[in-house]
Amino acid sequence: MRSKFDEQLALLHKELMTMGALCESAIALAAAAMEGGDTTKTQKVFDYSAQIAHKERDIEGMCMRLLLQQQPVAKDLRVISSALKMVTDMQRIGNNSGDIAEIVNMGHIKAAHDKLHIQDMAQATIKMVTESIDAFVKNDAALAKAVIAYDDVVDDHFDRIKTALIDLLRAHDADGEYVLDLLMIAKYLERMGDHAVNIAEWVIFSITGRK
Amino acid sequence: MITVNDLCLWYGSAQALHHINMAIPEKSITALIGPSGCGKSTFLKTLNRMNDLIPGVKISGEVLYNGENIFAPGVDVNMLRKEIGMAFQKPNPFPMSIYDNIAYGPRTHGITSRIQLDDIVERSLRGAAIWDEVKDRLKKNAHGLSGGQQQRLCIARALAVEPDVILMDEPTSALDPISTSKIEELAISLKEKYTIIIVTHNMQQAVRISDKTAFFLLGEMIEYDDTEKIFAMPRDKRTEDYITGRFG
């Protein structure tokens, strides 16, 4: 009786998965580009970021059409309204990946940053983004809750990196551009963790009706 | 104001309502939804004993209206229907003038004064948001009105005997969208003074106008809650399946 609507919902789900996969690729590649200032990688991050922005507009259009045509209620309404909110956070993740790539392109990030464990922070953030999207795909509220809890890990990384950078400045052991660029990267990663938390919260809302 | 306790109803040997329990708050709109044959219209008609007219009907349980069981011996059914009025799916104006349609009820209740009747007619037609459209042709036959106007006339006719409760059985299912939205606006304005219980097949209508919604299925009341809750986060899977169009 509602096969057309079910088809449209399945397509929406598929599109969100595609957009989520693009976010995972963008952030992973941005983290990899930090390693050696690799500009072929950063260019690819920009491409992903553009694709993500495009997907956001496509999915928004789908959601608006579904709201108009199907006048959804209950779980259908929750899924579609959650999708509308989630794509904004995914698009920001794409943007933040692009921001990191831009910083890498400036060439101030050197191998010395390893001892600050920025890669550990990047991996923790990738884990949050990946699992928030997994929680959506698998309709898994418990996994979404775990993502929200894991934000503390990313926040702790940020605090440690900030402290380490301040120590470097105090010791006059680093140039200012390097320190500020690294702090910006850490901040972008921390923001991406927050966006993953938002996605996880919308997953929980779509399942339980509560945020 | 209306409390239904363990209400069961049979048409002959077929049970049409199974142990219905609900408390309907006053000065609000309660929507009854469910697939055809689920018992929602039967339930609505039970509230002012319209089912008494059908042979072979048997009822158990009670409906308390202002604390009194409407099925108790000695209840004056005419008085009950004055308190609990009704508008039907198909507008059914009497084949007489607009004025006489409205004055009919008050006259049967003994009001003969022309001044009083004029006042009731104007007040009722204003109350049903149709006064401006008919004030210059009160003596014309009501059958000359459009379907939407006829439905508002019938609601005005129900208002003329000063009821507390108005039952509406799919009042807009035969109307175009403009007339439908007029009836919906009317229902919302009427709830300031009256308690309204409406059967509707139009889910969006229930969402738009009602405060509470009850979902009926196979003679049972499956779920009854605030309308927003029913349509955002129903508790019962059967409710979810019905309102999302998975069956019905």
Distance from CA of A81 to the nearest CA of B (A): 11
Say yes or no to pLDDT of B227 above 60.
yes
**Taking residues B126-133, what's their average pLDDT?**
93
Domain limits of chain B?
Answer: 29-34+74-243
For chains A and B, CB pairs below 8 A equal 33
The pLDDT of residue B248 is: 63
- Report the percent of chain B where pLDDT is more than 90: 90
Assign B18 a pLDDT band (cuts: 50, 70, 90).
very high
B245/A5 touch (CB, cutoff 8 Å), yes or no: yes
B245/A77 touch (CB, cutoff 8 Å), yes or no: no
Domain limits of chain A?
Answer: 3-208
Distance from CA of A201 to the nearest CA of B (A): 17
Interface of B with A in 113-152 (CB under 8 A): none
Which of A70, A73, A82, A205 to mutate to probe the B interface, most B CBs <10 Å? A73
Say yes or no to pLDDT of B142 above 70.
yes
In this complex, is the C-beta atom of B206 within 8 Å of any C-beta atom belonging to chain A?
no
In this complex, is the C-beta atom of B207 within 8 Å of any C-beta atom belonging to chain A?
yes
* Cα atoms found within 13 Å of the Cα of residue A53, Cβ hemisphere only: 10
In order, the DSSP letters of chain B are: -EEEEEEEEEETTEEEEEEEEEEEPSSSEEEEE-STTSSHHHHHHHTTTGGGGSTTEEEEEEEEETTEETTSTT--HHHHHHHEEEE-SS----SSBHHHHHHHHHHHTT---HHHHHHHHHHHHHHTT-HHHHTT-TTSBGGGS-HHHHHHHHHHHHHTT--SEEEEESTTTTS-HHHHHHHHHHHHHHTTTSEEEEE-S-HHHHHHH-SEEEEEETTEEEEEEEHHHHHHS-SSHHHHHHHTTS--
Assign A112 a pLDDT band (cuts: 50, 70, 90).
low
Assign A35 a pLDDT band (cuts: 50, 70, 90).
confident
Say yes or no to pLDDT of A155 above 80.
yes
Say yes or no to pLDDT of B70 above 90.
yes
List C-alpha distances in Å: B202 to B75, B199, B230: 34, 9, 14
The pLDDT of residue A1 is: 60
The pLDDT of residue A171 is: 87
B203/A78 touch (CB, cutoff 8 Å), yes or no: no
In this complex, is the C-beta atom of B244 within 8 Å of any C-beta atom belonging to chain A?
yes
A73/B233 touch (CB, cutoff 8 Å), yes or no: no
Q: Which CATH architecture group holds A3-208?
A: Up-down Bundle (1.20)
ipTM value for the complex: 0.73
The pLDDT of residue A117 is: 85
In this complex, is the C-beta atom of B246 within 8 Å of any C-beta atom belonging to chain A?
yes
Which of B207, B238, B242, B243 to mutate to probe the A interface, most A CBs <10 Å? B243
CATH no. for B29-34+74-243: 3.40.50.300
Which of B222, B226, B233 to mutate to probe the A interface, most A CBs <10 Å? B233
A73/B244 touch (CB, cutoff 8 Å), yes or no: yes
**Digit-coded pLDDT (tens) for B183-213:** 999 999 999 999 999 999 999 999 999 999 9
Interface of A with B in 62-81 (CB under 8 A): 71-78
Distance from CA of A144 to the nearest CA of B (A): 19
- Which strands form B2-11's sheet, in the order they lie side by side? B14-24, B2-11, B57-65, B68-69
In this complex, is the C-beta atom of B245 within 8 Å of any C-beta atom belonging to chain A?
yes
CA distance B246 to B248: 7
**Digit-coded pLDDT (tens) for A133-145:** 999 989 999 999 9
**Digit-coded pLDDT (tens) for A53-107:** 999 999 999 999 999 888 899 999 999 999 999 999 999 999 999 999 999 999 8
Say yes or no to pLDDT of A111 above 80.
no
